[in-house]
Structure formats: structure tokens, C-alpha cells
Amino acid sequence: MQTLSQLKSGELAGIKRLALSENLSSFPLEILSLADSLEILDLSNNQLTSLPDELSLLKNLKIIFASNNQFEALPEVLGQCVNLEMVGFKANQIKHVSEHSLPPKLRWLILTDNRIEVLPDSLGERSKLQKLALAGNRLTQLPLTMAQSTNLELVRISANRLTECPTQLLSLPNLAWFAFAGNPFSQSNISIKSVPEVSSSSFTLQEVLGQGASGIISKAVWNKPQSNFTDDIAVKVFKGEVTSDGYPEDELQACLKVGNHINLVQSLAQVSEKDYLALIMNLIPAHYKNLGLPPCFNSCTRDTFPPGFSLSIDQIAKIIAQMENVFEHLHANKVCHGDLYAHNTLFDENANIIFGDFGAATMYHMLTLEQQKQIKKIERRALHHMIDDLLSICAVEDQNSATYNALSQQAGQN
């Protein structure tokens, strides 16, 4: 994070990435002095309502973030930024998205948690678009032109007002990660009671184990001995607001609908109290570690891995066999995970896995049989991408093996 005083003094000349958060109500024109170098501009957590036409002078700008501001419209000047690829305006008050506001090279658009009711047809005309986050808006339909979005790989449309399944998305050739819970068309009447309800006073939270878009996971202990539950537990306390993936309530219901599986985090109980929603789970043993890292700006939708990290082909084959089993279990229960990635997978030294994070999960039993088939096909692409990603870190000595070649052929299927 830099400061406005640094910018005005000229201290930041030549930088490629600028982040300013100083309760700004107007765009600092001094930013234009960075036109020859600036590639990433982060103006999140300010009070901005507009951007100047001169923004297009930032000829090298590739990424702009302006989340948690006061924008009521997506600025049209963005459409004039010829090299802009990633636009993030999460948690504003945006109602209007002009057909002229979308840059020609747009790859990644984040408009989560706004007030958008209609999107322009020009969205489907952005041929490079790969990633689209629209959860938590007021959309009643999507542009029919999105049938042209052949490079689109990840879509988040949860927590909107869509009354019909957007079939123009279901046949897209590259769509692999799809979250659509919390819409009228995906509404379910069922309330899953596969685990008992307990009170929030029955346990005490300890150290935080992890935090995601939808909640915080902590180690916990029961306040009294429990005959029905293990002593080693973790508790996910859901955040109350809509997240990048949708509503916490939908995540909880999808997680419970899936039920138990040897390679899934086991749910034990739930808390459903006013202003307090939580899931009690088995504590994952400490020797498990993350299989991958989330996508970066450049990889966009694909996982990344630590430098130098590799797996043997036998480890990869074992992991994939377990993921295949998980995949079939999910879809036998008519649940689309929506976020099938290595970074949501834990593994141990014996290549045993535990898969989790149901933030983007959606129950789809209410869809037509043809739509259900398409949803399963979409998620199978994600599994094939995961195979491909794991093969990218396969030990060099195993890369000509029969198993490697067989998995590589499987990953290439669509």
C-alpha cells in the first residue's frame, strides 16, 4: 500500500503497481504521471463515485480494482482502456453497466455484491472473457449474446433473481466452474437435517485454522463431554453477508446434502440460530497440507503451485482416482461443487486426500434432466483441468510413463 503523499512527491515514479486507500472522494490526477509504467491500480476501500476520462491515458494498465467504493455505474472510460484485462468493482452500489464500459481485452470481470439488474449485450461480445463474478446482484436474466462467450471458464451468478436457468451458458465449450445457488430457478424446498442441531454455547472456539470468502474455520472444543461426537472438532462460522460465491445458507445446505464420504470433510452438526450459522466438522489431522495454490492474475482460472513442488505419477494417479470417486459422489447427490480445484484439496504423504470448501456448491436436483447432464459435464471439465494441472508438476522421470500418457489423454477430453 502506498500513500497519496508519496505519489504527489514523485517518489513512486516508474512503479507498475499502485494501491491507495485514504478515504478518497476523487481520483488523484497525479496517478496519470505513471502512464508509462502503471499496470495494476487498486483504489479499493475509498469513497469514489467516478473515474476521469483521462484514465485511458494509462496505456499499460491491465488491472483495476475499485471495490468498496460508492460507484452507481460502471465507468464508461474503462471501455476506452485498450489493454485493460481485469476489472474488479465488488461491493459498490452499481445499478448501471453501459455497453461501452467493458474494455475490448476483458478477461476477468468482478461485479459481486452490487445492484445490477441488467447487463449489456456487449458482455457476450468480449471474446477473451474467461472469468465472470456476478453473485449478489439483482439480475433477472443474462444477455443471450453470452452464448458467444466461448472462452468463458468460470461463472458466479449465485444470489441473484434469475427465474430461468441461463441455458446460453450450459453449452459453452470451456465452462468448468459454475456457481448458481440462491436464484429462483435453483431454489429448493428441502431443508437438510442430515446432522443434528446444537447450540453455539455447546463449544468454544480456539485458534483460527483458515478463512475463506464465506466464513472462518477455527479449532474448537466441546464445553461438555459428547457421547455422539469426536473430541477433535473444527467449526466454520459463516459470515452473514453474500460472498463472491453466494449465500452462506446455500453452502451449508449443499454441504449437508452431499453427506459423508471418506475423502470429504465430515460434517457432524450444525448451528442455526439468529445471526449465527455454523457447521461443526471433524478436525483434519495436522499432517495434511494444501495440494495447490489458488489461481493468480496470469493463470486466471488455473491453479498454481509452489516453486519446485512436484509429485510422482503414482501419487498423482492415486489423487485423481480419489477425486473421481468424490466427483461421482457429489453428482449422485445432485450437487455441483463449483470450485473443484487442487487448492481446495488437502493431501498427506501417502497421497490420501480430503476435499472441501463448498462455498460455490449448488444443489441442482430441481433442474431438467438435460440441464442436469450439462451441469455434470461442466464440472467434469474442472476435473480434467485438475488432472492437467497436476501433470504439470509431475516428476520429470515419470513424464514418459504409460500412466502419465493415459492421464494426459483423459485431461484432454472435453
Q: b/e string for 259-279 if b means 16 or more Cβ within 10 A?
A: bebebbbbbbbbbeeeeebbb
Asked if 251 contacts 216 with a C-beta cutoff of 8 angstroms, the reply is no
183: CB partners within 8 A, 6+ apart: 157, 158, 159, 160, 161, 162, 163
313-316 long-range Cβ contacts below 8 angstroms, 24+ apart: 313/394, 313/395, 313/398, 313/399, 313/401, 313/403, 313/404, 313/407, 314/351, 314/398, 314/403, 315/351, 316/387, 316/390, 316/391, 316/394, 316/407
Asked if 210 contacts 217 with a C-beta cutoff of 8 angstroms, the reply is yes
Neighbours of 330 (CB within 10 A): 23
375: CB partners within 8 A, 6+ apart: 170, 178, 336, 364, 367
Closest CA to 287 of 342, 351, 231, 338: 351
User: What secondary structure letter does DSSP report for 160?
Assistant: S
Distances in whole angstroms, Cα of residue 291 to Cα of each of 165, 197, 236, 271, 406: 33, 32, 21, 30, 21
**334 annotated as ligand-binding:** no
Tell me how far apart the alpha carbons of residues 392 and 369 are, in angstroms, rounded to a whole number: 35
376: CB partners within 8 A, 6+ apart: 331, 336
Round the CA-based radius of gyration of the chain to a whole number and report it.
22
Maximum C-alpha span of the chain: 67
Residues forming the annotated binding site? 236
Residues forming the annotated binding site for ATP? 236
